[in-house]
Amino acid sequence: EEADEDEETMMDLEALKLRTTHTEAEPSSKPDEILESTMEAAEWNLEVERVLPLLKVTIRTDNKDWRIHLGQMHQHRDGIQSSLTEAKSYLDKLQEDIGKTLEKVSSREKYINNQLEFLIQEYRSVQAQLSEAKDHYQQASGGVMERTRVLAEISEELEKVKQEMESKGSSMSDRASVVKVKQSLTKLKQEVDQMDVRISLIQHKLQQANLKEKSNMTRDMHATTIPEPAAGLFA
């Protein structure tokens, strides 16, 4: 690519030389006398305004030209140097401020450490006691968990025993009611037997009373019928 750029540059220079030589070889077209214009100033100004845009020459920049790149490099270098000079002063000041601040922080830290040395030692001792208390708590919690498990097992067994006792109590209450019913039946049977005996005695007494009454009636009847023949005799 650099070889192509060099060739194009050489061709442009040769073309420029040819044009210059051709221009110099042409005969001069200068007039022998001074020309005088007969145009008025207003018309001249209008003509200048009309022709002025056509007289502007625009030169296209070639991006491949090394001169343009070199100029840009110099421009950027100058900008970097000026920015670096300005930034360096700010950075030096910032470094100085940071150094002073670090010194103040270091001295303040030493002062605080000296003032709080007793509290730090006390904090360490309290922290050691806390770790010991945590160990005791873990051991105690382990014992509590074991006792809780045993208590749960005992409670479960106690619940089973209660259920068995309730079932046995219900069965015993059922048996007691049966026994009571049997006793009541036995007592009722005895009372029925006693009533039968009493009824038999009463029936016997009634029979005796009936027999006695019949015998009395028979005797009375005999007593009333015997005196009649004697009365007839006396008649």
Q: What is the pLDDT of residues 76-131, one digit of tens each?
A: 888 898 888 888 888 999 999 999 999 999 999 888 888 888 888 888 888 898 88
Q: To the nearest whole number, what is the mean pLDDT of the chain?
A: 75
Query: What band does 4 get if pLDDT is binned at 50, 70 and 90?
Result: very low
List pLDDT tens digits, range 174-195. 566 677 778 888 888 888 888 8
Q: In this predicted structure, which of 127-131, 154-158, 222-226 has the lowest mean pLDDT?
A: 222-226
Query: What band does 30 get if pLDDT is binned at 50, 70 and 90?
Result: low
Q: How far apart are CA 168 and CA 161, in angstroms?
A: 10
pLDDT of residue 103: 93
Torsions phi, psi for 226 (to 5 deg): -70, -45
Instruction: Return the domain boundaries, the chain.
Output: 68-115, 119-172
Tokens of 209: 């009373």
Tokens of 36: 């005088």
Percent of the chain with pLDDT over 90: 6
Q: Mean pLDDT, to the nearest integer, of 133-144?
A: 79
pTM of the model: 0.26
Q: How far apart are CA 225 and CA 227, in angstroms?
A: 6
pLDDT of residue 104: 93
pLDDT of residue 37: 64
Q: How far apart are CA 159 and CA 146, in angstroms?
A: 20
Which tops the pLDDT comparison, 68 or 225?
68
pLDDT of residue 99: 92
